[in-house]
Chain A
Amino acid sequence: MVKYILRRFVAMIVTLWLIVTLTFFLMHLAPGSPFNQERNTSASVQENLMEHYQLNKPIAIQYVHYLNNILHFDFGESITLPGQTVNDLLSRGFPVSFELGMLALLVAVISGIILGVLAALKHNGIIDYIAMTIAVIGISVPNFIMATLLIQELAVNWAIFPTATWATPMHAVLPTVALATGPMAIIARLTRSSMLEVLTQDYIRTAKAKGLSPIKIIVKHALRNALLPVVTLLGTLTAGILTGSFVIEKIFAIPGMGKYFVDSINSRDYFVIMGTTVFYSGFLIIMLFLVDIAYGVLDPRIKLHKKEG
Chain B
Amino acid sequence: MNIHEYQAQNLLKEFNIPVPFGVMIASKDDCQAILGALHFDKICVKAQIHAGGRGAGHFKNDLGHGGVKFASSKKEAFYVIKNMLGNTLVTKQTGNGGKVVHKVYLVEPVRFSREYYVAILVDRNLRRPVLMLSTEGGVNIEAIADKSPEKLHKIIIEPSMGLTISQIKELASRIRLTTEQTQELSDLLLQLYALFIVKDCSLIEINPLVLDKSGHFLAIDSKINFDDSALPRHPDIVKLRDIEEENPNEVEALQYNLNYIALDGNIACLVNGAGLAMATMDLIQYHGGQPANFLDIGGGANEGQITRAFKIILKNPNIRGIVVNIFGGIVKCDAVAQGIVNAAQATLLSIPMVVRFEGTNVREGKEVLNSSGLRITFADDLDDAANTIVNLCK
Q: Do A and B bind each other?
A: no
